[in-house]
Structure 1
């Protein structure tokens, strides 16, 4: 490893066995930096910069290093040469999938919760982002020795489902819905229809609310359609996960944590974790330097926050983790701060084992994507557009047509 080669050079020059080496966040400071001069200068009672200057003069020159600079009070920054990059690329080719493997997380059990698509809605490029981020993280952690558990929490109940089912009831189902892609495209269309009508038609709004109540009550009148369309979404998700090279050890659903989350909140209401406020049940986040959030509405329904309490229980039972990483957009940062604090009140110590890995949202030039309005770029559309561009590039290739198709799909 390049880092070890740099350490060895400094170790030899400084006659010091332990060399701290890190990668600067500011790339102008080089690829590697060490603070060893600050430590050793203190022991010899001289200026760190003076010591750093002397130490740099003793470091053997290597063709892997383009230049060495002294920064600030005495940091030594290393800028690598192009040869170092070529060496690293060659090493990755030689080692294949073993390249970069280590033991930093050996013995650790880490859950990575990612993807989170809602059933009954379009699977768009925003989902592709969290899918790729989560899978990349899972692979990196695995390469560093961790036992990784891939989890996926999906919303299969809620008003968005009711809007979709209302739209379905008011749209004739095409006869050619044979593939997962065609079915999920149809669901996206009827969801947008239901969502838009919900906003401008009071009668439709009441009908959608009634459908929502029937779903939660598992009314036999609505459940066959709910199960049918839910499965359409799940089939497409499975098709997409396989296509993008990922999988999940456990799928968690909002429908299975609805009652569980509500019961946990009510149980801990009596224990002082939650409080009543204007008919609702809240978590008093202000007592923890955060903000208050509603966990059970005045109508007695659990919010997303309450459902997270049930999810926390199921996730711990499914995989007793040392760390749980939630790969979710940065717009949910404040939400997670409160939710994790509430989890910790129910499950003491859980806060230290939870992390929210935030990332920037995928927006269009016109603004944020919206499944409600149908203004989204679906994953399927993006893939097909990329394949069209690849086809242009490969037009003059000597590959057979079936080989070109295989390359484009991969």
Structure 2
């Protein structure tokens, strides 16, 4: 019995009591909280439902908790239900019910843990979207890992997810990049506000290989040639780096298309017509304060040119017109102002502000030898995705970047991630999987296979119980991680599962030794070990990290 199944049993039991007493069912929460108590001696699981609802229903918490215990105890899945403290209810599962979790994992395989919380939802998930003016820096690399993991989590909860990259190929930064390429091609110093690094020289040389006469063209044509070829080359490098990092996108949307297609002009006229824009100080302003923004935003500047937000509004309209009911933006630490303005843009177009959700990610720093690493071999001024991957590999990089809440600044310890010891979190989890795969190979060498009639009710050792209950938490962890947009919950869970397995392995021998014959407990433990391996593999897959069978 999983925690979710136990929670449903508790709710149904409470509803039965409410019906018997003629009480209002609306008092009961839609979701009952069932958790593992900190002290295992108190039971396998506990709920505080009686404390939540008893007084609202005119009951005493301990009295209601006892009634709940009496009803739940009738279930064959429950070994005992006891009231504790002011109204907590502690449970112990029957061995057969606890072991059923093992069979559920083995039945569902790669699908174990998946749910339906977002079934029917169409979600646009935009992340990374780094400017095509240089290699992806560490902030973008963090989003590549976290965004990809979040997309996998949302899809695992039934959502139809489109992973989108907003290609910023319009604006001043592109002009600075092009001028930097031209200067490099001419052998001149980097422009004052330009981009430096060997990658600029490499791309400039590639442009000249494709268009040998580019520098002799009239200034406008020269600029356009370096822009067309150079930006394209840079973007292809970015896509290649992302693909090698295990992050692929369904859509690459070009910012420039919003202007050339007339989408920006169209949405401006739409907002003028519905009264969401007003004219003041020779500019057109969005009434964004009416929708929670701290100030109104200029959409068309006094010189008649669109402000950056005009493109943002047109882009949001395009997403909504494509049928997405939730648009998640994953933005950098300096983009807090976008939260209110994008929600205001949605409201101005007649949509719910909740159509928009903005996640803000904090900075990433590399540390080696206790000192910060600040310079890239290739980019010169920033550390890039390639630098991190070269230092620790894709798996370690993705796991470490996904392991922490994006709300916090992250210091990545390169020395720790290079270690092949249990101090290294990704090694710790992957080693647990490899150890389980090795155990199954050893079992096969002894002609021991998983048996469909294995008696999992024999799994009564405390370490077996800990491991089974940890396995049973996986579906609720995934659901919560998707709901809160927190993939790091999956990483932390995998570490607790690896810990539970290692402790079980140290305390309970699985395979017979010497001339010993296998027993029913042998087959039960083999099933448990395969369930643990499957869950580790499922969790690592959702983080985009490999589950090695040998290490």
TM exceeds 0.5? yes
Mark the CA change 1:23 to 1:13 in structure 2 (over 3 Å): closer, same or farther: closer
- 2:6 counterpart residue number: 6
Distance 2:33 2:254 in 1: 40
- SS for the counterpart of 1:123 is coil
Q: Counterparts of 1:147-186 in structure 2 under 5 Å?
A: 147-172=160-185, 186=199
- Aligned partner of 1:112 among 125, 133, 148: 125
Q: Is 2:375 aligned against 1:361? A: no
Mark the CA change 1:85 to 1:56 in structure 2 (over 3 Å): closer, same or farther: closer
User: How many angstroms does 1:316 deviate by?
Assistant: 2.9
Mark the CA change 1:392 to 1:22 in structure 2 (over 3 Å): closer, same or farther: same
- Aligned partner of 1:381 among 379, 384, 387: 387
Distance 1:3 1:360 in 2: 33
Is the 2:203–2:233 Cα contact (8 Å) retained in structure 1? no
Task: Deviation per CA, 1:148-170: give whole Å up to 9, x if none.
Answer: 22222121122211112222222
- Aligned partner of 1:39 among 53, 58, 69: 53
- SS for the counterpart of 1:349 is coil
Is the 2:48–2:87 Cα contact (8 Å) retained in structure 1? no
- 1:243 counterpart residue number: 244
- SS for the counterpart of 1:170 is helix
- 1:99 counterpart residue number: 112
Distance 1:78 1:66 in 2: 6
- 1:306 counterpart residue number: 310
Mark the CA change 1:281 to 1:140 in structure 2 (over 3 Å): closer, same or farther: same
Task: Deviation per CA, 1:53-83: give whole Å up to 9, x if none.
Answer: 6645876599999998868x85768899xxx
Distance 2:88 2:288 in 1: 41
Distance 1:31 1:134 in 2: 33
Mark the CA change 1:288 to 1:145 in structure 2 (over 3 Å): closer, same or farther: closer
Distance 1:53 1:238 in 2: 60
- 1:342 counterpart residue number: 345
Larger Rg, first or second structure (1 or 2): 2
Is the 1:149–1:249 Cα contact (8 Å) retained in structure 2? yes
Distance 1:247 1:14 in 2: 47
Distance 1:229 1:78 in 2: 65
- SS for the counterpart of 2:132 is coil
User: How many angstroms does 1:362 deviate by?
Assistant: 3.0
Mark the CA change 1:114 to 1:351 in structure 2 (over 3 Å): closer, same or farther: same
Q: TM-score, normalised by structure 2?
A: 0.53
- SS for the counterpart of 2:249 is coil
Q: Counterparts of 1:399-410 in structure 2 under 5 Å?
A: none
Q: Is 2:141 aligned against 1:128? A: yes
After superposition, the CA RMSD in angstroms is 4.8
- SS for the counterpart of 2:267 is helix
Distance 2:301 2:91 in 1: 57
Is the 2:169–2:254 Cα contact (8 Å) retained in structure 1? yes
Task: Deviation per CA, 1:317-336: give whole Å up to 9, x if none.
Answer: 4x312222222235423322
Bigger drift between 97-106 and 285-294 goes to 285-294
Bigger RCO of structures 1 and 2 (CA < 8 A, at least 6 apart): 2
The runs of at least 4 consecutive aligned structure 1 residues that moved more than 6 Å come to 27-32, 61-71, 77-80, 84-91, 188-191, 364-367, 388-392
Which consecutive residues of structure 2, in runs of 5 or more, have no partner in the other structure?
18-27, 188-195, 205-217, 394-413, 422-546
- 2:301 counterpart residue number: 297
User: How many angstroms does 1:311 deviate by?
Assistant: 0.7
Q: Is 2:210 aligned against 1:187? A: no
Which consecutive residues of structure 1, in runs of 5 or more, have no partner in the other structure?
175-182, 192-213, 395-405
Is the 1:21–1:33 Cα contact (8 Å) retained in structure 2? no
Distance 1:85 1:132 in 2: 35
Mark the CA change 1:137 to 1:273 in structure 2 (over 3 Å): closer, same or farther: same
- 1:226 counterpart residue number: 227
